[in-house]
Amino acid sequence: MSANIHSQPIQIQANWQAELSQSFTSIDRLLDYLNLDPNQLNISPAAISEFPLRVPRSFAQRMEPGNPLDPLLAQVLPVAAEMQSMPGYSLDPLHEADHNPAPGIVHKYSNRLLLIVSPSCAINCRYCFRRHFPYQENRQSKQQWRQAIDYIAKAKEINEVIFSGGDPLAANDNFLGWLCEQIAAIPHIKRLRIHTRLPVVIPSRIDEGFLRWASSTRLKPLVVLHINHGNEINLQVTEAVQRMTNLGIRVMNQTVLLKGVNDNAETLAQLSEKLFDIGAMPYYLHLLDQVQGASHFDIPQHFAQNIYADLQTRLPGFLVPRLVREVAGEKSKTLIC
């Protein structure tokens, strides 16, 4: 492996599905690749059996070999702290199970709703609030998708549909193109938003198949990426974003504030600067959802507010993401300021 991650050749013909299947799923292989000793890292086999390890090679390439504290590694490392049960941390902190009016739908906010398009992800992020979501119940047939589409067609207050998951771009483009067409046929829907981490962890996902349906729909497309640290942005990610923006797809980014990953203003300011450089606008900075197994990433709110005040002094206003928390039962994200 090259020590300088930015000098790697561009894989123009890379096939994202092949890359996905070559992801690291063995902790020993990953640590061996990174020149790290598993005994130094407090790895938990129980955590792995609860939520498997999954790391695309492209993402692992951006980690610094030999660094047990690498901020990208910290996001995927299954450690013993995950198995502590903490008061206040639950399996479904956002009560999503209460907002499933039709299969595959999470409808909590008035004029926009989530479609759980794909149950799986290309990477398993240890802090994820979806780690306990009953995805199997949300894996569905085309007939069930029609029920979801009927629900949207009847709900006239909705003007935006959000492809979510899991990671929606883990689904294939034939299916996504079909779903997009069904939604575009509903006159009151204006926007299609795609919440995805795939273009970050496997940039070759932004291929012709994706661009064809995403840029030819009548719906105004918007992609919201999920990047937590500037080191996640390399040349391939930059090019993937450019392929989208060149075709008029707007690109934004959300970040989760994570202890040991990005818990200081300097790191967050660098991330915003890099995002702007590649053509993506910062959107949200989320406080961690209190999901069981993620408490070791938590930053107390008052501490987050200090970081945020510092961040505001370092950036123009348009590069400061909105600091938010999700409060179960609320009609929008809750702004923290």
Pairing of strands 322-325, 281-286: parallel
- Cβ at position 164, least distance to ligand PLP in Å: 8
17-46 residues in contact with ligand PLP (CB under 6 A) are: none
Distance CA 11, CA 25 (A): 22
Which tokens in the block code for residue 10?
Answer: 């561009």
Nearer to ligand SF4 among residue 169 and residue 186 (C-beta): 169
Instruction: Report d(CA 232, CA 192) in Å as an integer.
Output: 25
> From the CB of 162, what's the least distance to ligand PLP, in Å?
6
CB 137 within 8 A of CB 144: no
The answer to whether residues 101 and 151 touch, using CB atoms and an 8 Å cutoff, is yes
The token pair at 171 is 């689904």
CB atoms inside a 10 Å sphere around CB 74: 22
* Chosen from ligand PLP, ligand SF4, none, partner binding at 167 (C-beta under 5 to 8 Å by type): ligand SF4
Q: List all residues 6 or more positions away from 100 whose beta carbon is below 8 Å from its beta carbon.
A: 106, 138
Instruction: Give which of ligand SF4, ligand PLP, none residue 109 binds (C-beta under 5 to 8 Å, depending on kind).
Output: ligand PLP
Q: Which of 123, 1, 20 is nearest to 61 (CA)?
A: 1
Residue 318-337 contact track with ligand PLP, rule CB under 6 A, x = bound: --------------xx----
For residue 237, the tally of other CB atoms under 10 A from its CB is 24
The strand pairing partners of 291, in sequence order, are 90
108 contributes a contact to ligand PLP by CB under 6 A: yes
Distance set, CA 178 to CA 139, 170, 208, 309 (Å): 16, 15, 16, 45
Which residue of the chain is nearest ligand PLP when measured via CB?
108
Single-letter amino acid, residue 222: L
Task: State in angstroms the smallest separation of the CB of 71 from ligand SF4.
Answer: 15
Query: Of the candidates 27, 72, 77, 106, which one interacts with ligand PLP according to CB under 6 A?
Result: 106
* Residues at the interface with ligand SF4 (CB under 6 A): 121, 123-125, 128, 130, 165-167, 197, 226
Part in contact with ligand PLP (CB under 6 A); list of ranges 32-40, 106-114, 116-124, 296-304: 106-114
How many other C-beta atoms lie within 10 A of the C-beta of residue 96? 18
Candidates 33, 51, 89, 109; binder of ligand PLP (CB under 6 A) is 109
Residue 230: contacted member of ligand SF4, ligand PLP, none (CB under 5 to 8 Å, by partner type): none
- Tell me which stretch binds ligand PLP (CB under 6 A): 51-59, 108-116, 233-241, 259-267: 108-116
- Only one of the segments 80-88, 103-111, 202-210, 226-234 lies at the binding site for ligand PLP (rule: CB under 6 A); that segment is 103-111
Q: Which of 117, 162, 183, 241 binds ligand PLP (CB under 6 A)?
A: 162
Neighbours of 175 (CB within 10 A): 14
Q: How far is the CB of 254 from ligand PLP (least distance, A)?
A: 8
Write out the residues near ligand PLP by the rule CB under 6 A: 106, 108-109, 112, 114, 162, 332-333
